[in-house]
Every structure is written in C-alpha cells, then in structure tokens.
Structure 1
C-alpha cells in the first residue's frame, strides 16, 4: 500500500508482489498481465480502505485511519483459461470528492466501486453526489466503465438503517451492479472483485468458480427457535444469517437465507 496526497498520483506498476494463493506462475516475465484499474469512492468511515486491504492483503485493521488523498493497492488474480490479471485499486479519500485531483484519480478507470455503510443512512445518501462527480469526470472516457454499488458492514446487520429496497432501486435506476460485503469478516469481498473484473473483461464465470470464492468462516452453531413446529426466520426485512455445522471439519459455512435480499446480487 502506498499513501498519496492531493498533489500527485502514483505511476502504475506493470507488476506487483503476488500475495497469498493467487498465482502459480512465480512471476514469469514472459507472461503479460492484463491490467484492470478499480477506483473505490465513498464517504469517510464507510470502510473503503478496509475493503481494499481485505482484497489485497486478506487482512482487517480494527483501528480507523482516514485516507488523505489516495491509497494504492494491487493484487494479481487468475481468471478462467489461465488469464492473469493485475488488479490495481485506487482508494480515494472521502474528502477528495471536492479535490482538484479527482479527475486524475478517475482517469483510465475500468471499474468504480461506490461504497457506503449499511448502518449509516447519510453515507448512502451521499452516493448520489459521488455518482454525479464520477460521471462528470468520466464523460468522454474511452473505457466502458462498470459501476458497482457496494453496501459494507453486513456483519452489523442488526444495525442496518438502509433498506434493501433502497439499495436495489438505486442500483437499478443507475445501471449499477448491486452487492453487499463485510470487510471485517471478508464475506464476499474477493468474490465481488473477481466477478467485477471478469465481467469487465467479458469473461464468464461458472457457478462452481463463483462458489469457490465464497469463504468458509469459523463460528459457533446457532440453534434456531421453533415456533409452532416451524423455524422462526426473522421478521420483515431483517436478514438472518444461519450457520451450518460441518462435523467432519469442525468448520461452519455462512449462508444468507433472507426472504428479501441476498449477500450478493449480480446484474
């Protein structure tokens, strides 16, 4: 990660260190990466940097650090047919919405993530302002830019204040890909990055490939409450997260069984 100010933008590297289980090519020089630039925008404290760190480093920092200007992340991923893609992520500070460098940060973007906090209604309302700024600065862009609406902090579902219908309607009316993530647990973060990149490159992912990106998280078994012989499953728009025990591996698979929403919705 590199932290930049409002006066300069990073020179994009052609190669980056290969973190974790991403690529088995050992950085062979004869492989030419496809490069995808993702710009992440949204209000401060919405979790943008945490999402970027979760994707690039598979880690989560509990302390909050305000991004001043720009943070830069990168990670190399593999797509079907052994296609290697260098994903460069530009994390834009919340105050940069009125900054003089915003046009330079957005130049050459292939994908823009609009991040808001599902427990903060103001952060969702301000997505409209970010969208206006992005569209203004990308007007005339040579790239067909993919827009993604990302509701963060789904681990705090009980504190949700932004209705699922508002999320869905806003994304539909603005031709955005709607999705939810949790930077804290890592829930669907890598999957969304990989799907957005694949979609941008017009590469189809099979159901098996998508499901392989879903994390298995550790947890305790929750006993569902039975009412009249039936399992109670939440009320109204409240999303319930169930845990299913795998007795052989002592792992617990997290799945969303909401009536009205899902963890990830791809248009």
Structure 2
C-alpha cells in the first residue's frame, strides 16, 4: 500500500455566475495556464494541486462548478463537505457582482456552517471595462466578514495568493480543533478532537 504523500486534504469549491472566469482561475493556479477562449463548464470539473504551508504538504481538490441555472441542482450537492468556497464575480459585469449575495444564500443553505469563504473580483486586467469598483468589492467582503482579492487569471494577479490565504485559514482552523489530550488518553492511543474522542489515525474531517 502506497504511503500517503500529504499531511492534509482540502476540498475547495469555485462558485459564481457563468463567464466570470472560474475555470481560468482554476487552470492558472493548477497548471499555470491560460486560455482566453470561453468554454462553459458542463456540470462540474475538478483539479488536484499540492502546495506546502508551514512545512505541511496540503493536497487541494478544487472543484469548478457550472454557473448556469440548469446545473444548479447538480452543483449544490458539492457544497456539502467543502472546506473552502471561493465566490467569483467579474469586475466588468455588475450583474455577476450583485449575484454574489444569492451565491452566499446558496452557501448558507447547502454548506457547513464553518466553511471558509473568500470573494474574488476577477478580470482586474480589464480595468477599462470595469463596472464594479475595487472599493465596492471590499465593502461586500466586509459585509460578510470575508477576505477579498481582485484577481486576473490572464495576468496571474493574486491567484496564488488567494488559494494560499484560503488554505492557510483552513489549516489553522483544523489545527486549532486538536486539543492536547491527557497522558492517560495518549497511552490508550486516543486524541481529543473538537470535544470528542477519536482513535488515532481516524479522520476528524469528512470531505464528502
């Protein structure tokens, strides 16, 4: 049996209206590639990317969801088990920005209460066509108490930073849940996680 090559496995989700650049953001981060030919995602797709934070190897399973209404029922099923959700809008499309509030409602209805969230205002390289100011993006993020980045998949602006920020927050949250157990519990091979006792080696997070 092959040895595990990572310390953590995080499931992340990209959501937002169709055409905001979710797939481009994903491919720029996972493959450092960019294609300006728009091809709408059918249903859902995913990529795997391994990163390192504070000496820990983290395997990211990143799901790219379709933004069209007809796929909404399919994609909502993937909210469950997501540890981090990136809400993406297009700075040149005000409607996609306004719809972030509806996407937030979808998260509240379908994802776990403690899921990490971040807002990305994508296509910031297209400043001449801007319909949403950076300050508006910041204000929306502040309203929900979230981190905010303006990004460009084309120019590789804040893509890596956004994923590292989210992954770091998830990692810190998981590590804060692990409390030191008593010497007696350790001797029995038991650790205390989030107020519950689990056997060592068992997973304290469900990803699906």
- Normalised by the length of structure 1, the TM-score is 0.61
Q: 1:41 to 1:29 in 2, by over 3 A?
A: same
- Residue in 2 aligned with 1:11? none
Answer 1 or 2: higher relative contact order, Cα 8 Å, separation at least 6: 2
CA RMSD, Structure 1 to Structure 2 (Å): 1.7
- Residue in 2 aligned with 1:50? 24
Q: How does 1:81-92 map to 2 (within 5 A)?
A: 82-92=55-65
- Residue in 1 aligned with 2:128? 158
Q: How does 1:1-267 map to 2 (within 5 A)?
A: 29-80=3-54, 82-96=55-69, 99-138=72-111, 141=112, 144-202=114-172
Per the TM alignment, residue 96 of structure 1 is displaced from its structure 2 partner at its CA by: 4.9
Kindly provide the CA deviation profile for residues 191-241 of structure 1, in whole angstroms up to 9, marking residues without a partner as x: 2101210122118xxxxxxxxxxxxxxxxxxxxxxxxxxxxxxxxxxxxxx
Q: Secondary structure at the match of 1:192?
A: helix
Per the TM alignment, residue 144 of structure 1 is displaced from its structure 2 partner at its CA by: 2.0
Which structure carries more helix by proportion?
Answer: 2
Q: 1:158 to 1:108 in 2, by over 3 A?
A: same
- Deviating 4+ runs (over 6 angstroms): none
- Give structure 2 stretches of 5+ with no counterpart: 174-208
- Give structure 1 stretches of 5+ with no counterpart: 1-27, 204-267
Is residue 151–residue 181 contact of structure 1 (8 Å, CA) maintained in 2?
Answer: yes
Kindly provide the CA deviation profile for residues 174-197 of structure 1, in whole angstroms up to 9, marking residues without a partner as x: 122111110001111012101210
- Normalised by the length of structure 2, the TM-score is 0.77
